[in-house]
Chain A
Amino acid sequence: GAGVSQSPRYKVAKRGQDVALRCDPISGHVSLFWYQQALGQGPEFLTYFQNEAQLDKSGLPSDRFFAERPEGSVSTLKIQRTQQEDSAVYLCASSPREYSYEQYFGPGTRLTVT
């Protein structure tokens, strides 16, 4: 069966550009999570969706970061006016449950801001 997929796998953006990162969760999964993983660090929580509702966005580092999941399936993480400190791997995870237990992770999108 298909796992969590993310696209693009790699993205190079010039400083100041906007980017959109896509996550396709496992079909039927209720919960979806975004994490940011800087080089040499563990993933850090960004935001959490339960179906289409964004229930926690406490980890978003600034108002340049925006996430949506309009139909409760595919999610998009958008970063406006990218900065060099945004360079990281962005991981998406989904869960069949209504909390973070049993998360399945995608391969991530590596974003490099030049």
Chain B
Amino acid sequence: KQEVTQIPAALSVPEGENLVLNCSFTDSAIYNLQWFRQDPGKGLTSLLLIQSSQREQTSGRLNASLDKSSGRSTLYIAASQPGDSATYLCAVEYGNKLVFGAGTILRVKS
């Protein structure tokens, strides 16, 4: 069964701290991996997409890496801000569907 696990489930950090969110997946036959942000009552916003042939992607203060062989991805957030507070979801594409982890709830305190 294709499963995606995210650690930690929740994280609370002071503003300015660098942090790492972890994602692991059981089936390495992936098409790509995406990191999403979800704010309460809203849909998902795509942050970064890493294709299966890539190792990492960067956007501003965000950097995501992918290691297919070990079934892992990390999302690195530099210099965190209160506006980064949200739930972060990792999703792995297998053909015609995305399989999501349960998410990491991030709170950045000012």
Chain A residues engaging chain B, CB cutoff 8 angstroms? 4, 31, 33, 35, 40-45, 48, 55-56, 59, 91, 93, 99-108
Contacts and interface: CB of A to CB of B under 8 A. Distances in A.
Nearest to A33: B97
A103 B41 CA distance: 18
B97 A56 contact: yes
Interface in B17-38: 31-32, 36
Interface of B: 4, 6, 31-32, 36, 41-46, 49, 89, 91, 93, 95-103
Contacts of A101: 31-32, 49, 93
A100 B93 contact: yes
A91 B43 CA distance: 7
Given A42-B4, A45-B97, A101-B31, A106 B43 contact: yes
Contacts of A33: 97-98
6 contacts: A40-B102, A48-B96, A101-B93, A105-B45, A106-B43, A107-B42
B107 to A, nearest CB: 15
A104 B43 CA distance: 9
